[in-house]
Structure 1
Amino acid sequence: MPTFRPIRISDVITETADARSLVLDAGFGYRPGQYLTVRTPAGARCYSLASAPGVDPAPKVTVKRVPGGQVSNWICDHVRAGDVLDMSEPAGTFTPDSPDDDLLLLAAGSGITPIMGIIKSMRGGSQALIYANRDADSIIFRDELDGLLPVTHWLDSERGVPTADALRELLTAYPDRPAFVCGPEAFVAVAEKALQSAGVPASRIRVERFELEPAGSRTAVAEVELDGRTHVLSWAPGKRLLDVIIDAGLNPPYSCRQGQCGACACRLLSGEVTLVNNEILEEEDFAEGYILACQAVPLTDSVTVTYQ
């Protein structure tokens, strides 16, 4: 499980109307593209470091509001310079192999956060960035990015939602570059398809997926009330609750597996989890204890949920 320690917020930067960066008064070591788990009174959530070690004077995480997201909205509404929050040690493997590589970077929305840290850490080579957003006002780090490298901006308001075919046309010049992809699950799926059809081998595609527990950490226990019975299941590090239940041979309800439909919703009776993605549950749902099994990862050694 993550080990938390109190960290003071030295500054809060307004990036867009919906995004804030928290500058941290902390001296920990980290690699570009890693993330922290931030614990708040509203719950815990993973946020990527937008800074680069050895380049930025202090680490910085960036938080974008998510509709119905208790933690992101609490941070954007309440956190001020001087506040203290519990945060985990840096984690994650979404990092380049060498600071001199030529990279192909694809991001959507707040997915630019770890990629920003990667861009600023690169010493040589060249980077090509495709960055998708709802509209121009939603672009995080716009001025800073434009001063670092050429950016191909994709705005849904002008071009519609990205498709695999449309993205592929932008990628054909870079078949030999390692590709880094970060963003909402729907964008990641489209980007991976576009990259593969453009000739980028799957082995050269890196996708950010939060890992709340580093390798070797403890396995949690999930007690699941389903179909009138209680099942005690071993919950391996890094797995989503829905996968744990299905792998045990059970038949829980689910559909999209992307945090978008709510079909897998269950009620949390004890313990603590965080949701990697949530596009459906709202404040009143969280108040009643509902979580999404397809996106839930544990923050405590034991968790009890019910489908009753």
Structure 2
Amino acid sequence: MEITSYELEVVAVVEETDDARSITFRVPDGAAEEFAFRPGQFLTVAVPSDQTGLAARCYSLCSSPTDTPADGDTVTIAVKRTAEGFASNWICDHLEVGGSLRVLPPSGIFTPASLDADLLLFAGGSGVTPIMSIARTALARGTGRITVFYANRDERSVIFARQLSELAAEYPDRLQVIHWLESVQGLPTLEQVRALAADHLERDAFVCGPAPFMKLTVAALKELGFPRQRRHQEKFVSLGGNPFGDVGSTQVEDEAAAGGSSAASETAVEPAAEVGEPARLEVELDGETHVFDDWDRSTTMLDHLESRGVKAPYSCREGECSACAVRLVEGEVTLAFNDVLDDEDLADGIRLACQATPASDVVRATYSG
């Protein structure tokens, strides 16, 4: 099934650092509902390619749902150049005000369950992009305390330095920003990250950045006993399929996107279950429970929900991102493909709805938590 894409006009381009740009798009008339987003979500964009027609990449939103621009609804992403990366370099070199890109509506599950929760936010490099959206929104709409630990190569590479400073001045009792510069302090160690996080054991932790940074930070949180439901990390891999549905392959080269991404290891999946009697499916989404007794064994959970009028989240439909992720409450499913969930995710019951077919007679799942 083809996803509806939109042509979004560029209304602002800001040079955040020497190698990072923020791009603001105007939401088309009549599409405000489709582009309503939660802090921490991302956009999938189609970058023109002479070789393949387009290269699909996911970039996190740095804007906040609390923004009220004068020229109508807008959304903003941040893009940092990746060495030898086709898409990020094309955007930074060619995308200007007045230009446009095809974009899919916001998606992703890297978002707080409550804006009133106390948050511990870890960012490495351009991984600050979704962290910025989460912090700004929670400060504006919530009541919790927030600590941001932000690691960079040097002072010149700090994205959103001014905005973070302004937020800290505006919310001195609620926001603490800790900058870590490799040029001054060296790379952060497991012991140093663990010591910082030890003062915030009751908080919800969010981690986004380069793969080594995320691995180190998550390891520190695990050692401190942070439960899985309070540890969140953003994972992106380059999309090998075409979520836009009308042009050939999007595979250009292995360029990770969206704020310091993690190329998750491919996980083996079980063979497809034999076709039998339909399964029972119960899914909780946005506070509403949907129940179906006719889930065909050869149909993915996402396709079945869509066929019944349920607007379930998704992006790539290829098992290469986490936008459609659900958590199993009961039963089991078979994944046709998985290139983003690791063994811990799978052990915790997380599955990809776009790749999941029933492997038990009853499957209960939730899109929350």
Query: Same fold per TM (> 0.5)?
Result: yes
Query: How far apart, CA to CA, are the structure 2 residues paired with 1:198 and 1:241?
Result: 23
Q: 2:39 aligned to 29, 32, 49, which one?
A: 32
Contact 1:172 1:199 in 2 (8 A): no
Equivalent residue number for residue 160 of structure 1: 186
Equivalent residue number for residue 41 of structure 1: 48
Contact 1:11 1:24 in 2 (8 A): yes
Contact 2:126 2:159 in 1 (8 A): yes
Query: How far apart, CA to CA, are the structure 2 residues paired with 1:93 and 1:275?
Result: 14
1:12 correspondence with 2:38: no
Equivalent residue number for residue 196 of structure 1: 222
Equivalent residue number for residue 117 of structure 1: 133
Amino acid at match of 1:144: Q
User: Which residues of structure 1 form unaligned runs of 5+?
Assistant: 218-239, 250-272, 277-292, 296-300, 302-308
Query: How far apart, CA to CA, are the structure 1 residues paired with 2:183 and 2:227?
Result: 31
Amino acid at match of 1:48: S
Contact 1:2 1:212 in 2 (8 A): no
The structure-2 alpha-carbon separation of the partners of 1:243 and 1:30, relative to structure 1 and needing over 3 Å to count, comes to same
Per-residue deviation, residues 193-214 of structure 1 (Å, max 9, x unmatched): 111223322321011124999x
Query: How far apart, CA to CA, are the structure 2 residues paired with 1:140 and 1:241?
Result: 25
Equivalent residue number for residue 203 of structure 2: 177
1:127 correspondence with 2:165: no
TM-superposed CA distance for 1:172, in Å, is: 1.0
The structure-2 alpha-carbon separation of the partners of 1:2 and 1:212, relative to structure 1 and needing over 3 Å to count, comes to farther
Aligned length: 232
Query: How far apart, CA to CA, are the structure 1 residues paired with 2:147 and 2:237?
Result: 26
TM-superposed CA distance for 1:158, in Å, is: 1.3
Q: 1:65 aligned to 81, 99, 106, which one?
A: 81
Contact 1:55 1:121 in 2 (8 A): no
TM-superposed CA distance for 1:115, in Å, is: 0.8
Question: Could you say what secondary structure the match of 1:62 adopts?
Answer: strand
Amino acid at match of 2:205: A
1:140 correspondence with 2:152: no
Amino acid at match of 2:61: L
Contact 1:91 1:212 in 2 (8 A): no
TM-superposed CA distance for 1:118, in Å, is: 0.6
Identity %: 41
Equivalent residue number for residue 66 of structure 2: 54
Amino acid at match of 2:93: D
Equivalent residue number for residue 98 of structure 1: 114
Amino acid at match of 1:18: D
TM-superposed CA distance for 1:56, in Å, is: 4.8
1:85 correspondence with 2:92: no
User: Which residues of structure 2 form unaligned runs of 5+?
Assistant: 50-54, 169-175, 244-262, 272-317, 322-337, 341-353, 355-369
Equivalent residue number for residue 279 of structure 1: none
1:108 correspondence with 2:124: yes
Query: How far apart, CA to CA, are the structure 1 residues paired with 2:159 and 2:191?
Result: 25
Query: How far apart, CA to CA, are the structure 1 residues paired with 2:264 and 2:202?
Result: 36
TM-superposed CA distance for 1:294, in Å, is: 6.7
RMSD: 2.9
TM-superposed CA distance for 1:170, in Å, is: 1.2
Contact 2:57 2:238 in 1 (8 A): no
Contact 1:55 1:120 in 2 (8 A): no
Amino acid at match of 1:66: T
1:243 correspondence with 2:243: no
Equivalent residue number for residue 289 of structure 1: none
Per-residue deviation, residues 231-256 of structure 1 (Å, max 9, x unmatched): xxxxxxxxx89737x5479xxxxxxx
Amino acid at match of 1:94: F
